[in-house]
Amino acid sequence: MKIFDAAAVHGTALDTQRVQRRTVWVLSTAQLLSGVGSGASLSVGSLLAVQLSGSNAWAGSVTTTMTLGAAAAALPLAGLAGRHGRRASLVTGLLSAMAGALLVIVATVTGSFPVLLLAAALLGLGTAANLQARFAAVDLAEPEHRGRSLAIVVWAVTIGAVAGPNLIRPGALLGEALGLPALAGPFVFSTAGLALAALLLLVGLRPDPLLLAARLGSGGQPPAAGGSARATATGTVTDSTRRRRGLRHGMRAIRDAPRAALALVAVIAAHGCMAAVMSMTPLHLQLLTEGPPAGMPAGHAHAASTDVLVLIGFTISLHIAGMYALSPVMGWLTDKAGRLPVILLGHGLILLSVLVAGFGQAQPALVTAGLVLLGLGWSAATIAGSTLLAESVSADDRVLVQGVSDTMMGIAGAVGAGFSGLVMAGVGYQGLNLAAAAVAAVVLAVALRAAGQGRSASAAAQAP
């Protein structure tokens, strides 16, 4: 597959920078469009699960299934990227998510809970693609701008993801106009957004950044971002790289690089804490505002009122804004202050957030404030951790390690969301937040120890 002519491949650094700017723009716009789908899923997924299953015990099932789908898809999508480039991988993930959004509508119309879970699994492929897009942004980035490039793509999801939860009411009106249930309406917007994002990547992500980085490397020029798998002149990966694929090899590559291991721990812990608390917050707000109807057991499902849906949508929107809106700031801090200090900042914010939401559980305003801080902590830890991970392993291992990272993030999110319902049922919303606080505190301790060791090593190296 011809993706770039020889003159361009061996052209000036300015040519590569121009391709990088175009790549970041295309990825960012696609993230904006696809963010509508993830925003709608996060805001109404738990409500749909309760409504279709008939029990609050299944409230976290949609988020769990989405994260499991993302985890299962991460390595196959990374392998697809290694063989055929980022474009093939990202488009495949988004088209699968589009099919999932359509299936949510089918599940809501038919009242089928199993179909809803299948739809959530397919939506998870879109999550995996969106996560992989942040790494595509650094395939050609210069080392001093890796954090910034990654953060811009993460930030771009802000508008779509924040708009998603606020499409509940317009979506309900659209659903009624189309003869659909109210909660199915937002997924009409999701389907359109995902389709447009896939089309944009298919047409606009040319040349493919990963294949171009690999070609530059094989042509005797190092990829600007230390690109990923080595490639032949035709843009395909070598046999040695194919043999390197697999979760076991990826984990070994991470274990061999202590900074990569720390980065992975920081990323998956932040994602697990975020998924656990966020997935139960809509249900907590519903119970806090309305409580179970008179004469109905507390664990029994009941439909939320429109006012409660608006409150939930507003809260989740602010949480998602916290995750993405300040991403460029987090990227700038990552490049200027260093990867490890921003990781410490991220988990410090997560610790503060769950304490605010947990001890302020009776006040919707404090719950919302906690969710905003949780999003900010996730943003800092994910951007700094992902940047550190990408630069801490060899070029040949980079795409595979990125796939391992996304797989582990998905597993952490699934565990967090999956057990969050049980934890909340046993010890309440406050207990759930305190459990997340314990995780964040452990990561903070590990990162602080690593920072201390790094300062000691630096002082020893500078000593006469």
CA 78 to chain centre: 15
Evaluate whether residue 155 is within a structural domain. Answer: yes
Share the mean pLDDT of the chain: 80
Evaluate whether residue 216 is within a structural domain. Answer: yes
Look at 315 and 166; give whichever has higher pLDDT: 315
Evaluate whether residue 97 is within a structural domain. Answer: yes
Joined together, the tokens standing for residue 102 give 């359509």
394 phi and psi angles, rounded to 5 deg: -70, 160
pLDDT at 296: 43
d(CA 390, CA 139): 10
Instruction: Label residue 296 left, alpha or beta by phi (over 0 means left) and psi (-120 to 50 means alpha).
Output: beta
| % of the chain exceeding 70 in pLDDT | 79
Chain position carrying tokens 């089928």: 112
Report the SS3 class of residue 390. helix
User: Domain total for the chain?
Assistant: 1
Residue 370, exposed/middle/buried by CB under 10 A (0-12, 13-18, 19+)?
buried
Evaluate whether residue 116 is within a structural domain. Answer: yes
Evaluate whether residue 1 is within a structural domain. Answer: no
d(CA 42, CA 403): 23
Chain position carrying tokens 């460029």: 328
Model-wide pTM > 0.75: no
Angle between helices 113-136 and 86-110 (to 10 degrees): 160
pLDDT at 240: 41
Evaluate whether residue 121 is within a structural domain. Answer: yes
The mean per-residue pLDDT over the stretch 62-78 comes to: 85
How sure is the predictor about 461, in pLDDT bands with cuts at 50, 70 and 90? low
The mean per-residue pLDDT over the stretch 297-302 comes to: 45
The mean per-residue pLDDT over the stretch 309-336 comes to: 84
Cα separation of the two ends of the chain? 55
Joined together, the tokens standing for residue 222 give 């190092």
pLDDT at 229: 40
Evaluate whether residue 238 is within a structural domain. Answer: yes
Give the range of the structural domain holding residue 416, as residue numbers without chain letter. Answer: 6-462
Per-residue model confidence as pLDDT tens digits over 17-47: 888 889 999 999 998 888 765 666 666 777 7
309-313's contacts with Cβ under 8 Å and 24+ in sequence apart are 309/44, 309/47, 309/168, 309/169, 309/172, 310/168, 310/169, 311/285, 311/364, 312/43, 312/47, 312/165, 312/168, 312/281, 312/282, 312/285, 312/286, 313/43, 313/165, 313/166, 313/167, 313/168, 313/169
Task: Please report, for the domain that includes residue 200, its CATH number.
Answer: 1.20.1250.20
Pseudo-torsion of CA 34, 40, 42, 47, nearest 10°? -160
Largest CA distance in the chain: 78
Report the SS3 class of residue 231. strand
The CA distances from residue 191 to 5, 31, 188, 276, 394, in Å, are: 36, 14, 5, 26, 38
Cα atoms found within 13 Å of the Cα of residue 365, Cβ hemisphere only: 0
d(CA 400, CA 361): 41
Per-residue model confidence as pLDDT tens digits over 197-232: 999 999 999 899 988 888 876 543 433 333 334 333
Q: Above 80 in pLDDT, residue 156?
A: no
